[in-house]
Amino acid sequence: MSFESLKPKASAILSNLDRTPMARLEAVCELLRSEITYYDWVGYYFANHQTKTLHLKAYAGDPTDHTVIPFGKGICGQVAVSNENFVVPDVKGQDNYIACSINVKSEIVIPLFKDGENIGQIDIDSHTVDPFTPEDEAFLTWINTQVSAIV
């Protein structure tokens, strides 16, 4: 399904006041994982700025051991510090990387901002090498803007 046709579906999920914000977030993760062929795991980590750790709050895909990640560790932890998108075409090329599964070949992490503060991130793992384009970054940035309105 195209990014443009996914946007109204994501908006409908996120604006459903009958569900908790985290249930809506989980449903968005499942929408993206099921509709975009090369998105194999989709999750949201939220930052605790006191303890400088990221906490997994919603995801779709296989369960992961990495539910808490210190700032600076792995791709996710680096984005917590840099406040910038991180696209990894091939995880084999990364030294500071936390492997969740041997099947993961690539990863994209886009920070989630609320009122200008980096409060978390969307993290996507793919079993395909080098699948992510600037269109993925633009789409996921748009998704995060919608998400920031409900968290």
Q: Using CA atoms, how far apart are residues 122 and 63, in angstroms rounded to an integer?
A: 16
- Site membership for ligand SME, residue 66 (CB under 6 A): yes
- Where would I find the beta strands (DSSP E) of 1-151? 41-48, 53-60, 68-70, 86-88, 106-114, 117-126
Question: Of 60 and 69, which has the nearer Cβ to ligand SME?
Answer: 69
Gap between the terminal Cα atoms of the chain: 26
Question: Of 11 and 94, which has the nearer Cβ to ligand SME?
Answer: 94
Written as six digits, the tokens of 124 are 């996507």
List the one residue from 24, 74, 111, 120 that touches ligand SME (CB under 6 A): 74
Min CB(48)–ligand SME separation in Å:
16
Question: Of 7 and 71, which has the nearer Cβ to ligand SME?
Answer: 71
Q: By the 8 A CB rule, do 45 and 109 touch?
A: no
List the one residue from 28, 32, 60, 75 that touches ligand SME (CB under 6 A): 75
Q: Using CA atoms, how far apart are residues 119 and 137, in angstroms rounded to an integer?
A: 18
How far from the centroid of its chain's Cα atoms is residue 103's Cα?
18
List the one residue from 40, 108, 119, 125 that touches ligand SME (CB under 6 A): 125
- Site membership for ligand SME, residue 100 (CB under 6 A): yes
- Site membership for ligand SME, residue 136 (CB under 6 A): no
Residues near ligand SME (CB under 6 A) are: 41, 43, 64, 66, 69, 74-77, 97-98, 100, 107, 123, 125
